[in-house]
Amino acid sequence: MSHTLPAPWQVHQFASEGDRQLHLDYLPPPQSSSRPFLFWVHGGGFMSLNRRSYAPWYLGLAKKLGWGFVSVDYRLCPGATVLESAHDVLDGWTYATTKLEGIDGRKGVVISSSSGVWQAMHLCASASPRPCALINLYGITDIASFSTPAPSPTSHPFLEPPHVSQVEAALEASMTESPALTGMHFSFRIATDLDTEAWKALGARNGMTLQEWHGLEFDREMVWEPEILRALMIPLAINRGLLPHVAQGGKRLVAFSVDKPSDAKEVIDHHFPPTITLHGTADTYVPHMASEVLQTHLEKAGIRHELILVPDLGHNGDASWDQETAQVEQVRSFISECV
């Protein structure tokens, strides 16, 4: 990442895997006393995005509450397996809760979206200390449920001839990828209809300074290769039922384990943290029924939970929200009661 974050932001290396260094970004809380913190786990179909890929309201939420904010990178599939990615996320959590000054490691709240929720749920089940709450944004919970072609394929001009052949070739080549990538720039602006100035104004409404906006690369456009091409591999893999192959390390097809099952709902126990889930009813990447099924598992385990279904909202459709959005206020109220 080429841009430098302004003070008081910090960048920490929390692990090293092979020739790859794993980093986290940390914004300390404004008060020096130990405070709660948000811990961001990015999505991206297990194969794209990085620790700075998030909607402005996630950071704005921490700022509004006066909490710290932590975001971590992890090795991407299929160069790594999703089991290795989950291990990286846990390492990031352990580092944050034991090494970062200014936050209380016992008062962390995990926020994650899409495929990142799979890693986040495994973190919530195995970390010590466990998170106080989980914010689940249209998350993937059962990887095996994507093993058949999507019944309602996601459409995109570059997933049609003649462009799709280049995306197909990139996906095929990635199946033998080595070493694993550890981050890929993605701009959430493409999930909105905002122009550059309106996008910047959204950041300001979420408490972000211009220095932060630039340092976090919210003002950087995506380039075709590798960033846009890599992002297009996600809907292609979902459309064709290949997402489990990606998550299992491509052609290695590493099996899931007893403690890291394909269906993350299996790790829910009586100590799983309270969970608030937001999901749009127009999501074609991750059908909202997945979140409804998750709620039944949380209910059976006796876990406090709340599901907010947002009519006509698509995948990443929350990218244009700010702190005045009703759903954000609901999230803020829920997690404030959990720490």
Top-confidence residue, 246 or 17: 246
If phi over 0 gives left and psi between -120 and 50 gives alpha, with beta otherwise, what is residue 101?
beta
In this prediction, residue 17 has a pLDDT band, given cuts at 50, 70 and 90, of: confident
Distance CA 240, CA 242 (A): 6
Average pLDDT over residues 200-206: 98
Asked, for residue 90, whether it belongs to a domain, the answer is yes
Asked, for residue 236, whether it belongs to a domain, the answer is no
For the chain, the average pLDDT equals 95
Percentage of residues in the chain having pLDDT higher than 70: 99
Tally of domains in the chain = 1
Asked, for residue 34, whether it belongs to a domain, the answer is yes
Task: Retrieve residue 88's tokens.
Answer: 């990286």
Distance CA 220, CA 247 (A): 28
> What integer pLDDT is reported at residue 46 of this predicted model?
97
Asked, for residue 248, whether it belongs to a domain, the answer is no
**Cβ neighbours for 124, distance < 8 A, ≥ 6 positions apart:** 110, 130, 131, 134, 267, 272, 273
pTM recorded for the entire structure: 0.97
CATH number at residue 77: 3.40.50.1820
> What integer pLDDT is reported at residue 18 of this predicted model?
73
Q: Which residues pair with 35 in a beta bridge?
A: 103
Secondary structure of residue 247 in the 3-state scheme? helix
> What integer pLDDT is reported at residue 133 of this predicted model?
98
Q: Is the pLDDT of residue 286 over 80?
A: yes
> What integer pLDDT is reported at residue 2 of this predicted model?
62
Domain with 110, as residue range(s), is 10-143+182-221+258-336
Asked, for residue 262, whether it belongs to a domain, the answer is yes
Half-sphere exposure in the Cβ direction for 66 (13 Å, CA) = 7
In this prediction, residue 33 has a pLDDT band, given cuts at 50, 70 and 90, of: confident
Task: Retrieve residue 178's tokens.
Answer: 């080595």
Instruction: Give the pairing of strands 275-280 and 35-41.
Output: unpaired
Cα→Cα distances 2→113, 200, 252, Å: 25, 20, 33
- Segment (H or E) for 325: none
> What integer pLDDT is reported at residue 207 of this predicted model?
98
Average pLDDT over residues 238-243: 97
Q: Is the pLDDT of residue 237 over 90?
A: yes
- Cα angle 208-209-212, degrees, rounded to a multiple of 5: 85
Q: Is the pLDDT of residue 210 over 70?
A: yes
Average pLDDT over residues 78-98: 96
Q: Is the pLDDT of residue 294 over 70?
A: yes
Which of 174, 218, 163, 167 minimizes the C-alpha distance to 196? 218
Q: Which residue has the tokens 């790859």?
A: 20
Asked, for residue 155, whether it belongs to a domain, the answer is no
Asked, for residue 228, whether it belongs to a domain, the answer is no
- Cα angle 77-140-236, degrees, rounded to a multiple of 5: 55
Average pLDDT over residues 45-67: 98
Asked, for residue 16, whether it belongs to a domain, the answer is yes
Q: Supply the DSSP string of 260-319, one letter for each residue.
A: S-SBGGGG--TTPPPEEEEEETT-SSS-THHHHHHHHHHHHTT--EEEEEETT--TTGGG
In this prediction, residue 39 has a pLDDT band, given cuts at 50, 70 and 90, of: very high
